[in-house]
Amino acid sequence: MDILIDTHYRGYKSGVYSLTEILRHFISLGVTVEECREAGYDESFLSLLQPRRVPLSLKPKIIKPVSFSVRPADALDKDDLASLAERFLLELNGTTTKDDLSDVSALLLFQQGHTSPSGALWHEVLGNDTRELYIRALYTEPCVRKFGGGRALVGHVLEETAPSGGFQSVSLDAPENVTGFYKKLGFRGRCGENTDGMFTFQKKVEY
Q: Are residues 52 and 142 in the same domain?
A: no
Could you tell me if 50 and 75 lie in one domain? no
Pairing verdict, β 198-204 and 188-193: antiparallel
Q: What is the pLDDT of residues 160-198, one digit of tens each?
A: 999 999 999 999 999 888 999 999 999 999 766 675 788
Cα gap 84→97, rounded to integer Å: 14
**Of the candidates 80, 123, 76, the residue with the CA atom closest to the CA atom of residue 103:** 123
Q: Which domain holds residue 10?
A: 2-58
Same-domain check for residues 76 and 134:
yes
| Residue type present at position 145 | R
- Tally the domains of the chain: 2
Classify residue 63: in a domain, yes or no. no
pLDDT digits (tens, 9 = 90+) for 46-81: 676 665 554 555 455 555 546 899 999 999 999 999
